[in-house]
Structure 1
């Protein structure tokens, strides 16, 4: 394997910096993260972050993406019967399945390890979500459509997951996959540097590497598109697979080339951000960081942010509240009211302007607000 990048980050609650190494297979070209925690640790991080729980307020970008996924499926499977059994693996609390429910489908089932997601799915959409891991799932029936939206990029055991498809998929069924399109990573400078290298993203698929994986398990591509998402400023691969013959893999140089370009472009964007943070570190001004998610976790490990006069992180994600990062507490946004002399660094590209507007409207904030 060949190393392409070493990504460092800080995990809320952890005492030390973490990292993983982005590498590519020198035989087939598949790009993935090495030196990663085992799947149970990955699952614990995902569960504790609460990213899959949104109650009735679905983030605009997620709703937009799910609608695009749904439209792709219905365009390519116009005869999918209303009584067809549909399984969404990694269903969160049922946002995506609810689009099928709204269109008249009723034979719906989600799979998500989180018990909280299962409860919210029932309360919010009246959709059944089984709180179990894929390896423990025994539904006793087969499905006409199996969807995995933003799932495969998280999985340590890809072959084991794909091996379950034979027992879950109906003979004439289809599998829908949505993953970040690694073949497009280096196409243009990213809005957010190293966005694609979040801790929980450990597999980086192109169309060919995805076909290699599914072809190994006897599934063939029947439709595919690379689709732009304005909200997150990246592209997703949307692919439908059906049963076919097992096939040999082909070498895919595109992934490594694209990721290598992405690393160079991200480093250029990060350099500009690092300069802003260096000014804050040198000034010694009291600083609050709004945002304790993936971006802040990377900035803590790749810039001089730990050298700043940090008072606290604040975040709206209730799952993070009460924990610490760099031994600095993470508070709810209301905490800032008692620290009006502090500057605020907004560690979010997606919600940056919205947070700035909230600081003005809700807090009448007069101290400096620094957008990344």
Structure 2
């Protein structure tokens, strides 16, 4: 599927680079990343269609890690502390009501409720996340997508934290949010997204399957302004998370803090080009660093069905260099799904043997998974990390 620009709707945007991804539950696809020749915004194109992406979210997307027993990470707790204070400072007080679109496991809304917000509700497409939100945090969520949800009440604050980058028509969702604020004296929206900063600031896998839109400060402010909001507070972080993030609090009342916005065509094309050359070297280097141990293995398994495995296969010579015995994951949602030549199996259905090796196929959760696999090491199975990142920055 070839997309139009998500911000200005320009058609026939050309990809800067494409790769073939072995997607879970789907046939291998060409996935590319393109720069709009009109406004300079970067999006994923070509990509899969909306229904295929919804299938992924409904059956594959799991944003809680079993290694934490469904509890939030220290980084997420820290970020929510800051987010609540940032919004409170920008508005002058806590809002009376909060609607979160893309509410994940409900933790964010539980924190706003505990801080004193009277009424909270979530919109969430992930089946597992809706269940966790109710069971763990007693947060009610409407099981729907950002594109299709319906609510019958108004909310003073709408949250979209790490949501816009996932949407096929983010401007339509922002317009829908603005319409929900029509009945309020003043409404607010808080948007947080990964920040497409300098290529050297971006983590491995930054241009990923689930993220189909990419934001700079320039085009994020433009997107909110064109939807009828006026930014009142902006915050950027570069080192505290695995990759840069930007948050914007905006109001339905005109503020006049920002002037016109300038297209970033050449700048963003250079970021994509530089990043791509750096990324291929990085991934192959990670594989090369564990190749000597893989050469000694009796059997090799990948631990983690999903997008990281797509990227590992697309950016290295893994399949040309090694025979991969199988794929496993702790999430029952993934058991039985095909990814490439493998069918994902439950870990306890595999007869693990001394001499087996597991490659942990995750970036953000790599250390948590490694720590949780001590039981495999006790059986004589080698467990290998590719990235060795500081996961205290991960959600």
TM-score range, shorter chain: 0.7 to 0.9
User: Could you tell me which of 331, 353, 366 is aligned with 1:352?
Assistant: 366
1:107 corresponds to 2:130: no
Q: Give the match's secondary structure for 1:110.
A: strand
1:96 corresponds to 2:122: no
Deviations 1:201-241 (A, max 9, x none): 110100101112112122121111112464x5211111111
Q: Which runs of 5+ in 2 are unaligned?
A: 1-12, 387-395
Deviations 1:317-365 (A, max 9, x none): 2211222322223223334553332222222233334444444455414
**Worse overlay, 344-353 or 274-283:** 274-283
| Aligned Cα root-mean-square deviation (Å) | 2.8
Q: Give the match's secondary structure for 1:234.
A: coil
Q: Give the match's secondary structure for 1:143.
A: coil
Normalised by the length of structure 2, the TM-score is 0.82
C-alpha change, 1:281 and 1:344, in structure 2 (3 Å) is: closer
- Asked whether the equivalents of residues 278 and 305 of structure 1 are also in contact (C-alpha less than 8 Å), the reply is no
Instruction: Write 1 or 2 for the structure with the bigger share of strand.
Output: 1
Deviations 1:221-269 (A, max 9, x none): 1111112464x52111111111256986531244333333322322221
1:133 corresponds to 2:142: no
Q: Which runs of 5+ in 1 are unaligned?
A: none
CA–CA separation in structure 1 for the residues paired with 2:28 and 2:77: 33
- Asked whether the equivalents of residues 89 and 110 of structure 1 are also in contact (C-alpha less than 8 Å), the reply is yes
Q: Shift in Å at residue 161 of structure 1?
A: 1.0
- Asked whether the equivalents of residues 33 and 43 of structure 2 are also in contact (C-alpha less than 8 Å), the reply is yes
1:320 corresponds to 2:334: yes
1:35 corresponds to 2:79: no
- Asked whether the equivalents of residues 172 and 242 of structure 1 are also in contact (C-alpha less than 8 Å), the reply is yes
- Asked whether the equivalents of residues 8 and 19 of structure 1 are also in contact (C-alpha less than 8 Å), the reply is yes
Q: Shift in Å at residue 23 of structure 1?
A: 0.8
C-alpha change, 1:100 and 1:361, in structure 2 (3 Å) is: same
1:226 corresponds to 2:239: no
Listed as ranges, the matches of 1:1-372 within 5 Å are: 1-14=13-26, 16-52=27-63, 57-60=70-73, 61-81=75-95, 84-169=96-181, 170-184=184-198, 186-188=199-201, 190=203, 193=204, 195-228=205-238, 230=240, 233-244=242-253, 249-253=261-265, 254-276=267-289, 285-307=298-320, 308-360=322-374, 363-372=377-386
CA–CA separation in structure 2 for the residues paired with 1:202 and 1:11: 15
Deviations 1:119-170 (A, max 9, x none): 4323322222122234443323322100001100000012211221222123
Q: Give the match's secondary structure for 1:176.
A: strand
C-alpha change, 1:107 and 1:188, in structure 2 (3 Å) is: closer
C-alpha change, 1:345 and 1:133, in structure 2 (3 Å) is: closer
Normalised by the length of structure 1, the TM-score is 0.86
